[in-house]
Amino acid sequence: MNAGIVGMGTYVPEGVLTNADLEKIVDVSNDWIIERTGIRERRIAEPEQATSDLAVIAGERALADAGVDPLEVDLIIVCTNTADMTFPATACLVQERLGARRAAAFDLVAGCTGFVYGVGLSSQFIATGAYRTVLVIGAETLSRVINYQDRNICVLFGDGAGAAVLRPVASSSGILAFRLWADGAGAPFLTLPAGGSRMPTSQETVDKKLHYATMNGREIFKFAVRTLGEAALEVLTMAGFNQSDIDFLVPHQANIRIIEAAARRLNLPMEKVMVNVDCYGNTSTASIPLALHEALQEGRIKGGDLIVIVSFGTGLTWGALVIKWPDGKN
Ligand code: UT7
């Protein structure tokens, strides 16, 4: 049995942080941000909104879109790098709020590739028959771990959530192939140093601002440009297709230059590539579902289209999916 996405939902907080707002708080310019990243604005959660709050709204919308009752959900995976708490899993908080009392629930941490990891994993539970209905959610409140005085990082990230309901679909459609990769040698390139077992939170870690994310942007940029196109090609080959068969590409929304490099490697015109990084910045695990859902709503993906989804993130991790979009809903 192939797994397919049979419903989606998203949520972004109302608060908008524009490049002009950032110009007032740190030494950056609108022109630099647009030229180097393509980002114009990002959404920022209200102080009382935690990651689970965003995840619940996206999850409810995805279930409604799929016409699935919460009691039919067998498994909830919340892919996030900004859990409400170190433990318990944010997925358990979401399970309770959704009333999905039959569902198993766990969190998945795979950097910005989390949603692709989550969908790949879910497709296996469905393929084996272990589960029939899986809810995968990518949700982040990255604004909580960003130092808005650090211009190397604060221009990039935003908050948001997106969710997908996966169910068995006809074997000619749905997720035809996926592959997930990791290279821990690149782990130092993007970390949140304090608050874990290596460096428990202390007055000193707070004074040194080690409770904020730190990033070597240039190294991640080079890795992403090297990797995204190749990952897409490999997974297409696994599914028995080649690059000319791609109807639409949904890449991780991190930087317009990275997206354009992937499109060039795949010989794809930008009309066949989803871009909304300008509106949301990099929302990490929410980026792919926000982009995919918007593409669906805009009618840019039709039943029967061959979609490639490709992402990368801290870890380092990267992954790709080939989906034949189902005709109608199961
Ligand atoms: O999901 C994974 C998460 N991470 C990423 O996706 C990050 C990937 N990396 C990137 O997107 C890019 O590397 C950045 C957008 C972070 C940086 O762009 P870049 O073209 O690699 O710039 P750079 O780091 O090479 O810096 C160029 C210059 C530097 O000045 P000098 O050394 O040339 O004098 C920086 O100090 O730009 C300066 N700079 C800035 N200037 C204005 C760096 N950040 C800023 C800024 N505003 N925000």
The whole-model pTM stands at: 0.96
Catalytic residue among 79, 154, 252, 279: 252
- Of 16, 93, 9, the C-alpha closest to 51 is 93
Q: Which CATH number fits domain 176-324: 3.60.150.10, 3.40.1190.20, 3.40.47.10, 3.40.50.261?
A: 3.40.47.10
Q: Give the mutation target among 18, 116, 148, 221 for probing the ligand 1 site: most ligand atoms within 8 A of CB.
A: 221
Q: What is the rounded (10 degree) CA torsion for 202, 185, 106, 117?
A: 140
- Say how far apart CA 330 and CA 312 lie, in whole Å: 30
Residue 59 has pLDDT above 90, yes or no: yes
The response to whether residue 28 sits with its C-beta less than 6 Å from ligand 1 reads: yes
Q: Is 270 helix (H, G, I), strand (E, B) or coil?
A: helix
Q: Which residue among 112, 154, 255, 293 is the active-site one?
A: 112
Check: CB of residue 279 under 8 Å from CB of residue 41.
yes
Query: How many other CB atoms sit within 10 Å of the CB of residue 23?
Result: 14
The answer to whether the 2-172 and 176-324 domains have the same CATH topology is yes
Per-residue pLDDT band for 326 (boundaries 50, 70, 90) equals confident
Q: Is the pLDDT of residue 142 over 70?
A: yes
Sorted by sequence, the CB contacts under 8 Å of residue 167 that are 6+ apart come out as: 3, 4, 6, 66, 68, 126, 132, 133, 134, 330
| 151-198 pLDDT, tens digit each | 999 999 999 999 999 999 988 899 999 999 999 999 999 999 999 999
Ranges of each domain in the chain:
2-172, 176-324
pLDDT digits (tens, 9 = 90+) for 208-226: 999 999 999 999 999 999 9
Task: Check if 36 has its Cβ closer than 6 Å to any atom of ligand 1.
Answer: yes
The closest-lying atom of ligand 1 relative to the alpha carbon of residue 22 is 48
Tell whether the model's pLDDT for residue 330 goes beyond 50. no
**Model confidence pLDDT, tens digit, residues 255-291:** 999 999 999 999 999 999 999 999 999 999 999 999 9
3-class DSSP state for residue 13?
A: coil
Q: Does domain 2-172 have CATH number 3.40.50.720?
A: no
Compute the distance between CA of residue 322 and CA of residue 192 in angstroms, rounded to an integer: 31
